[in-house]
Amino acid sequence: MSNILVLGGTTEASALAAMLAARGDEAVLSYAGRVASPKVQPIPMRIGGFGGVEGLVTYLSDHGVTHLVDATHPFAARMSANTLLAAEHAGIAHIALTRPAWVPVAGDRWTRVADIDAAVAALAGPPQRVMLALGRLHVDAFAVQPQHAYLLRFVDTPDHPPGLPRHHLVVDRGPFDAEGDRRLMEAHGIEVVVCKNAGGTGADAKLHAARALGLQVIMIDRPVLPARLEVHAPAAVLRWIDHGADRGV
């Protein structure tokens, strides 16, 4: 009998959890714990890290996990690498449920950069009004470009104020729509949007809004991850579970 551990926090993870619950599968959805009030799920939840590869291997063994699904954010590179290693050490089936990356279309004004440091460097120059659509983990890195006025949007109120001398913080939880994001950008006179290439449709409203307003977008490319079995739809994960999950890549 299958016993599934889903590493989540994404829209796709929630959709998979709903499907597993509807089928009556034994499954747990694990959150990293970066959000104060994660979305309640129809399957049992756990919150917090595992303690690296060794800790995750111990959890998989202690709980009799048979299938490990990595449905974490595309930029959770360390967790994804640890997940693959842990599955190999534990000898259990592993799959990644990911979102297709965004690609520019007509009307987009993208500057693609490799990482957060490159995004910070790309903002060198005269003062502008910048929307950092990055969450809260990397915001303080932009303090070395203090000339800009920054718009931030977090899911939760932070324990400490962001380390940016000029900023406005909006606390709100998505999903967001293109019209709402357009109004937000217009209200704050945004000239540049900085975001990660999260992909999918759950967080692309800001791109539609930026395109409609003709704004520059500094797009941070995804980190390179080890080769792994990867699908883009929750239903594909169910088929993988039902038809003899492959432990290989």
Concatenate the DSSP letters of all residues of 31-68 into one string.
E-S-SSSPPP-SS-EEES---HHHHHHHHHHHTT--EE
Confidence (pLDDT) at 246? 52
SS3 state of residue 217: strand
- Asked whether residue 245 carries a pLDDT value surpassing 70, the answer given is no
Judge whether 49 and 83 are in contact, CB under 8 Å.
Answer: no
Question: What's the order of all strands across the beta sheet hosting 45-47?
Answer: 45-47, 26-31, 3-7, 67-70, 93-97, 230-231
- Asked whether residue 103 carries a pLDDT value surpassing 60, the answer given is yes
Q: What pLDDT, in 10s, does the model give residues 32-59?
A: 876 666 778 999 999 999 999 999 999 9
SS3 state of residue 249: coil
Concatenate the DSSP letters of all residues of 141-170 into one string.
GGGG-TTSEEEEEESS--SS--S-SSEEEE
* Residue recorded with tokens 């357009």: 182
CA angle 34, 217, 143 (to 5 degrees): 55
Measured CA to CA, the distance from residue 203 to residue 247 in angstroms comes to 31
CB burial string 7-20: b at 16+ within 10 A, e below: bbbbbbbbbbbebb
Structure tokens at 80: 């994804």
Confidence (pLDDT) at 113? 98
- Asked whether residue 247 carries a pLDDT value surpassing 80, the answer given is no
Measured CA to CA, the distance from residue 22 to residue 16 in angstroms comes to 10
Q: What pLDDT, in 10s, does the model give residues 161-219?
A: 999 999 999 999 888 999 999 999 999 999 999 999 999 887 899 999 999 999 999 99
